[in-house]
């Protein structure tokens, strides 16, 4: 066989393949032209969605800042209340210790008075020792309340007014 014939056959096969590819490309381009309006609508809708998303970003930032500020205010108020409660607990512990010491002193006082000769007293009723101790403890608590400085009383009034 001659080389010219072989080359002509090869070129004709390649031309047939190229023609087939061109036909396929033409059909796809035709379909694309038909769907161009749909594609344009999709692009416009995508553009609108992008614009809305961009315009919403400042609003979201503002909402986040407002929420953060509100949360910060609540945290500060909670810390203030925590400090107030810690102060009250400290004062209550101090008062409880004073009251306990007063009760101990009241218990020890009758024992010391019993060791010294005492004048005869009428027979106590049942439970009178307890009521004497309770009266002594109440008197000690009253004296503690009286011992508070004016500043402490004002602070307690201010704390109560905050609530």
pLDDT of residue 147 exceeding 50, the answer is yes
In 10 A of CB 102, how many CB atoms? Answer: 19
Residue 128 sits at the vertex; the CA angle it makes with 126 and 133, to the nearest 5 degrees, is 140
Q: For 77-100, what is each residue's pLDDT tens digit?
A: 999 999 999 999 999 988 888 888
Contacts of 109 (CB under 8 A, 6+ apart): 136
pLDDT at 20: 96
Q: How far apart are CA 144 and CA 97, in angstroms?
A: 11
Q: For 39-74, what is each residue's pLDDT tens digit?
A: 889 999 999 999 999 999 999 999 999 999 999 999
Tell me 127's DSSP state.
T
Q: For 103-121, what is each residue's pLDDT tens digit?
A: 888 888 766 666 554 444 4
Overall pTM surpassing 0.75 (yes/no): no
On average, the pLDDT of the chain sits at 80
**Residue 110's Cα: distance from chain center in Å?**
55
Per the structure block, which two tokens stand in for 65?
Answer: 């800042």
């Amino acid at each position: 066989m001659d080389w010219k014939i072989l080359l002509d056959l090869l070129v004709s096969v390649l031309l047939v393949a190229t023609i087939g590819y061109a036909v396929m490309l033409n059909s796809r381009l035709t379909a694309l032209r038909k769907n161009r309006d749909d594609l344009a609508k999709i692009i416009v809708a995508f553009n609108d969605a992008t614009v809305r998303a961009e315009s919403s970003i400042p609003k979201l930032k503002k909402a986040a800042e407002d929420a953060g500020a509100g949360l910060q205010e609540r945290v500060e108020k909670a810390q203030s209340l925590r400090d107030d409660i810690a102060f009250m607990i400290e004062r209550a512990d101090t008062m409880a210790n004073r009251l306990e010491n007063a009760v101990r002193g009241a218990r020890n006082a009758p024992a010391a008075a019993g060791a010294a000769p005492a004048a005869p007293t009428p027979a106590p009723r049942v439970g009178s020792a307890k009521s004497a101790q309770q009266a002594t403890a109440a008197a000690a608590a009253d004296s503690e309340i009286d011992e508070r400085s004016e500043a402490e009383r004002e602070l307690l009034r201010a704390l109560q007014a905050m609530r």
